[in-house]
Structure 1
Amino acid sequence: MEPFSPLEPKAAAKTGLSLPEKKFRVLVGVTGSVAALKLPLLISELLKIPGVEVKVVTTERAKHFYNPQEIPVPLYSDEDEWQHRCERELISPLAVLLQMHSHASVAFMWRGAMARKLSGWSRRSAEVCWVPGCCSSRQSCSGGALCVAVEVQLWKGRSDPVLHIELRRWADLMLVAPLDANTLAKLATGICDNLLTCVIRAWDLRKPLLFCPAMNTAMWEHPITAQQVEQLKGFGYTEIPCVVKKLVCGDEGRGAMAEVWTIAESVRRVVAERDLPAQS
């Protein structure tokens, strides 16, 4: 069977068929601030904008704050670009030493039995990372063995699509709401260690990117925060400033994410400037 190809504009006119109107594609990035609780409401408001199509990229930490079942649009996370597996292995004295410092995640290359297991997997190389608390979110490990989280990239060859590049191409606008302090620091310095930061690192600077900082007042008032916000604005990104209100922790001050209606209105203005059809 011949592959289906859409009608050319002239052919469509001759047959009387109407072509589907172009959508304005908004990619929402959500990070691990408590303001991620508002993600379902934000998506709902964005979908009210005529001509807008929405997809979401989430960090792993952000998942703690919303129910994926309440997100009525495609939702992407690290697991869509990386395959995660937990393996229990005998550990070396070095790993025991690392275990003593359980307050930090430590990555190290492994040789021996683990390397042999990895040899048949699809990626040409693999990194074995010990991540404290991994089992609590993936699976339970018994027998007292150290849990080793193995990440194997799903990309296999030249012709395979790379998700963060495909999302970057798909979107007409990116909205990062909320942008927590950790991801703000990553973006300001070019770190790209998850799906969201990879999308932004590859972002086409000719397209608009809006970001909505959200963090505790003490974090917001740290001198480095202003430097990092200015760095993002220097890239051409647009800040939707945080506001003063009583935070979830009980403190009152600046650092709360802008109101959802303010964010949606900012996106609406960009859509209007792009002169898109009034009807979806």
Structure 2
Amino acid sequence: MQRKFVAEEERTEGAVHVLLITTGSVASIKAPLIVSELLSFSSVKVEVVSTESSLSFFDHEAIERSGVRVWRDKDEWGKYGEYKIGDPILHIELRRWADIVLIAPCSANTLSKIANGSCDNLATSLLRALSPSTPTYVFPAMNTLMFEHPLTARHLQVVREVIGYTVVGPIGKMLACGDVGLGAMTEWRDIVQIVLDRFNLTKRA
């Protein structure tokens, strides 16, 4: 049975609605930490959208046990014959819900898709439908040579200058593959801090 999500029913007055998108980078392992820290602040609601490849790196059920849903491609339309005209469309409802979008991590593959306007999964369809007024932050994470590939600079330029997203990072460190160099995702606490600063959030009592 398809899970239903209707933005106007899910939004909470006075809350900050944070949409976290995880993509196919090892840095997706940090998703539970980002979610847990965000939930420690007052009036924060979180939803997660994950590409199928990103689910290899973290326990999505652990996040869901905290009350945060992890949405994936199969949730978009459900099984054949389940969707009926007039039913809510998940990528549209989630973009209506979000006050801020964090793409953390943003893999080279998803970066390329965003820059080229692809919408072949739930995450990229949501981003293609996203209002330009919704603050959106991209946190690249990839191998150093992937980051240094000439197409990466072009994709980042499109994301910044044409689409209008804010790109933060990557940073230099030893990567999961053992290489040392630029390409790691911005530290997860710094990602959370961006949300805290933007909305002046305070810790729960």
- TM class by shorter chain equals 0.7 to 0.9
Greater shift in the superposed pair: 41-50 or 167-176: 41-50
Secondary structure of 2:123's partner? helix
Secondary structure of 1:191's partner? coil
Match of 1:178 among 83, 105, 112: 105
Distance across 1 between alignment mates of 2:31 and 2:203? 25
* 1:205-256, Cα deviation, whole Å (9 max, x unpaired): 1110011000000100011101111111121111111100000110000000
Name stretches of at least 5 consecutive residues in structure 2 with no aligned partner.
1-11
* Pairing 1:155–2:155 present: no
What is the TM-score normalised by the length of structure 1?
0.64
Could you tell me which amino acid in structure 2 is paired with residue 40 of structure 1? P
Match of 2:184 among 237, 256, 262: 256
Secondary structure of 1:49's partner? coil
Secondary structure of 1:177's partner? strand
Aligned-residue CA RMSD in angstroms? 1.8
For the Cα contact (< 8 Å) 1:21–1:277, is it kept in 2? Answer: no
Corresponding residue for residue 37 of structure 1: 29
For the Cα contact (< 8 Å) 2:175–2:184, is it kept in 1? Answer: yes
For the Cα contact (< 8 Å) 2:138–2:166, is it kept in 1? Answer: yes
Corresponding residue for residue 195 of structure 2: 267
Deviation at 1:21, TM superposition (A): 5.1
* 1:43-96, Cα deviation, whole Å (9 max, x unpaired): 112222332110000000011111112212111000101336xxxxxxxxxxxx
User: Of Structure 1 and Structure 2, which has the larger fraction of its residues in helix?
Assistant: 2
Corresponding residue for residue 69 of structure 1: 61
* Pairing 1:215–2:142 present: yes
Name stretches of at least 5 consecutive residues in structure 1 with no aligned partner.
1-19, 85-120, 123-153
Distance across 2 between alignment mates of 1:223 and 1:270? 32
For the Cα contact (< 8 Å) 2:173–2:180, is it kept in 1? Answer: yes
Percent of aligned pairs with the same amino acid: 45
CA separation of 1:30/1:37 partners in 2, compared to 1, >3 Å: closer, same or farther? same
Could you tell me which amino acid in structure 2 is paired with residue 37 of structure 1? I
Secondary structure of 2:78's partner? strand
CA separation of 1:217/1:54 partners in 2, compared to 1, >3 Å: closer, same or farther? same
